[in-house]
Amino acid sequence: MLKFKYKGSLLALTFVLSIGMIWPVHANDAKAPEKAVVSGAVDVFGIAVDEQKKKSTADHSKFKELQVDFKDGPAVTKACISCHTEASKQLHKTKHWNWDYINADTKQHLGKKNVINNFCTSVPSNYKFCTACHIGYGWEDENFDFTAEEKVDCLVCHDTTGNYKKLPGLAGHPNYKTMEWPPHSGKFRAPTDLKQVAQAVGKTSRATCGACHFRGGGGDAVKHGDLDSSLTTPDRYLDVHMDAKGLDFSCSKCHTSDSHEVAGSRYQPTAVDDKGTLIRGSKEERNAATCVACHGNVPHFGEFAKMNEHTDKIACQTCHIPAYARGNKQTKMSWDWSTLGKMDDQGHAMKIKGSDGSVIYDSKKGDFTFDHYVVPEYQWFNGEVEFTLADTKIDPTKVVKINSFKGSYDDGKSRIWPTKVFRGKQMFDKGNNTLVVTSLSDDPETALWKNFDINKAVEYGMKYAGRDFSGEVGWVETEMSWPITHMVAPKEDVVECHQCHTENGRLAGIEGIYIPGTNTTPLLDKLGFIVAFLTLIGVLIHGAIRYFMHKRGG
Amino acid sequence: MLKAVVGFITGIVFIGIVGWNMADVMMLREVESPYGVEETAARIQRNMQSLSANGWTLSGLRNPAKAVANSGMNVPPVLLVEGCSTKYSGPILKNDATRILSILMPCTITVYKKDNGKTYIGLMNAGLMGKMFGVGDIMAQVAKDQEIFITFDPKKPAPPLIKTSPGGGGGAGGKASDGC
């Protein structure tokens, strides 16, 4: 129903419409302009390179070690570690380097190289492609030397020029020769000027972290929904902390690092932090990337103090992130692999675009759906995530949860969290009832994206990963969830009371909790109506008696 | 006599209260769309183009939510699809008595997302508006066309969104355009 203010007069209606007419905004404005990639001392990542140089105690362009025409990335790293002697050794211990992680609570063996997802599904047999987002050089197969110090890529995190890009298919290297990119586009990318990039290194930034994390799932905004390139130079409404003209937080402001190990984890998230503020430099072994770590346990004051009574059951993000993908970037919401392989009339692979220009069908990949300004799905979450791994038996008649968020009202350690739930339909081994590793990109004989033969691609992928394969590929529906923690809105844009405390409100369907306005008790409702009705009857009878008594008396 | 007057006034008040509370439903309609905001807007545009025989042309596509976002606030997506038919607008604009109704032109259909994540279409009740302002016959035709605008064929693929500029170039005496 429309709000009261719209009711009544036609003039009011036309006034509202006429305001709409004078807004000089068109849908082709919907895409935020990409930051121009330029070289030299120019504002590329929200801060001028010259400005950064002024703040730094070291001007790397003056170092003789960096005044060299480097032939490749490892040569740059050798120069870096000639001064920063321990850097590579530190990096070698991190998740960013190993893509390998054992959850201490669940004992599950996780990490990017081990898990299966419902985007491009798996890393093994696709290393050259996937490792464009590895902080190393040359990981093209399982024989990669994880102890080689020169293979750590310093530049991908410390570049300030915006000219350093690791392209898919090059096993983590930038291009050293002129290269057509994107493939078959007719556009050519000049060789990376490693000397220029190396001489301009600086602190990490939203852009350097975002080079991979904004592009999870293979493209801008695709995977997470709350991380995309609109956060490179965001406005206040998009993220109150990262607002480029305001607080201007870099990622590392919350995701602090110690010996290059960065705080925060998708494999073992911190769902509840009730330990109060965390003083920077404190030796407490806690995740620094939580709201409470800065805002404390009692963050609301004055007229908003009532909100502190919600924090024992509701994550901060539930109210403070009203929707994700708010930066006019479309995030992928579903991916159906089972429809791949359709060709156009000439028998060529094809792409079909949707109304907004997003590719909604690709012969290599199947069907997609996208959305923006997405209201999250809410669920209890206590930080424990159980993954369906390559050897986990699945029931293909049901939707398989790639990662299950654990938690409930009564476990004493859960909060209601906003999440993005990504829905897929992907390959599985029909004989063994397991998810599968699929060869997508690297091997010319079997790669799905080159041959469109799903059986051959899965057979090779499973053999490559050393997994048993029955030889029969089926399709199974899957779900994968991510907690939403970025794109924090300013306080005036938080989720309002009535958005939850109403029939079919945002938290309708959350089990185990009574939400006034959302949950009803039919018996109580009926009793209330009966009492109100009887009261009305009583008033009428009372009034009638008084009237007639007055008449008789008068 | 007094009873009759009181009854009459009570009746007017009652009708007034009912009318006041029903006004939004009577003048505006809201319909849920099975598609996202962009695809819904694009399908409306395509349907509007399919009625070119009735004089319909696209006049513009506006994004008021973007303007609000630019001023630093969060609002869900809204797209205004604008179209005009000279077959219907001509007679209204020709007449001094009805020319003021140009304030309702071009015909605007709004597509927006609500807090429940669903997409909705908002339209004016053209038939009722027409009756109220003495152009009932013309607006009855517009109402029929509106129904076609919002009837979607799921078998047809999603058409591209046409990011057309608002029509009517040049102001009074300026270059003629297809739209209003």
At residue A51, the pLDDT reads 64
For A220-332, where are the alpha helices, taking DSSP H only?
251-254, 292-295, 316-320
Q: Residue A409 — φ and ψ, nearest 5°?
A: -60, -40
Cα separation of A458 and A429, whole Å?
9
The residue type of A391 is D
Q: Is the pLDDT at B134 greater than 60, yes or no?
A: yes
Residue closest to A193 by CA, chosen among A48, A53, A37, A33: A37
| Whether the Cβ atoms of residue B109 and residue B78 lie closer than 8 Å to each other | no
Judged by a CB distance cut-off of 8 A, whether residue A235 touches chain B is yes
Helix (H) or strand (E) holding A403: strand A403-405
What phi, psi does B65 have (nearest 5°)? -65, -35
Strands B56-62 and B78-85: antiparallel
Q: Report yes or no: B154 at the A interface, CB cutoff 8 Å.
A: no
Residue B122, classed as helix, strand or coil, is: strand
User: What ranges do the domains of chain B cover?
Assistant: 28-149
- The predicted structure's pLDDT at residue A25: 34
Is residue A168 predicted with pLDDT exceeding 70? yes
pLDDT value for A33: 35
Q: What is the mean pLDDT of chain A?
A: 89
Residues 49-78 of B with CB under 8 A from A: 60-64, 66-67, 69-70, 72-74, 76-77
pLDDT in tens, A5-33: 444 443 343 333 333 333 333 333 333 33
When pLDDT is cut at 50, 70 and 90, the band that residue A375 belongs to is very high
Please give the residue that has the higher pLDDT: either A468 or B72: A468
Amino acid at B125: N
Burial class of residue A105 in the structure, from the number of CB atoms within 10 Å of its CB (0-12 exposed, 13-18 middle, 19+ buried): exposed
Amino acid making up residue A150 = E
For chain B, the residue count is 180
Whose structure tokens read 């306005």? A517
B18 confidence band (pLDDT: 50, 70, 90) = confident
Q: What is the 3-state secondary structure (H, E, C) of A27-45?
A: HHHCCCCCCCCCCCCCCCC
ipTM of predicted complex: 0.77
In this complex, the residue of B27, B76, B124 whose CB is nearest that of residue A373 is: B76
- Asked if A491 and A479 touch (Cβ cutoff 8 Å), the reply is no
Closest by Cβ to B165, choosing from A21, A26, A235: A26
**Phi then psi for A478, rounded to 5 degrees?**
-135, 160
Q: Say what the pLDDT of residue A13 is.
A: 37
Do A359 and A365 meet the contact criterion of CB atoms below 8 Å apart? no
Q: Taking CB atoms and an 8 Å cutoff, what residues of chain A touch B64?
A: 20, 23, 25
Least confident of A30-44, A439-453, A532-546, B14-28: A30-44
- Rounded to two decimals, the pTM is 0.83
CA gap A286, A261 in Å, rounded: 13
DSSP A311: T
Q: What is the CATH number assigned to the segment(s) B28-149?
A: 3.30.310.70
pLDDT at A493 over 50: yes
State the pairing for strand pair A415-429/A473-483: antiparallel
Are the C-beta atoms of B121 and B150 separated by less than 8 Å? yes
Q: Which of A305-319, A388-402, B19-33 has the lowest mean pLDDT?
A: B19-33
For B126, the token pair is 């053209």
Q: What share of chain A is helix, strand, coil (3-state, %, to 5)?
A: 30, 15, 55
Higher-confidence position of A525 and B80: B80
d(CA B143, CA B152): 16
Q: Which residues have C-beta within 8 Å of that of residue A194, sequence separation ≥ 6? A: A69, A70, A72, A73, A75, A76, A155, A174
A33 shares contact with chain B (CB less than 8 Å): no
The candidate with the shortest Cα–Cα distance to B62, out of A33, A357, A371, A30, is A30
Bridge partners for A109 per DSSP: A102
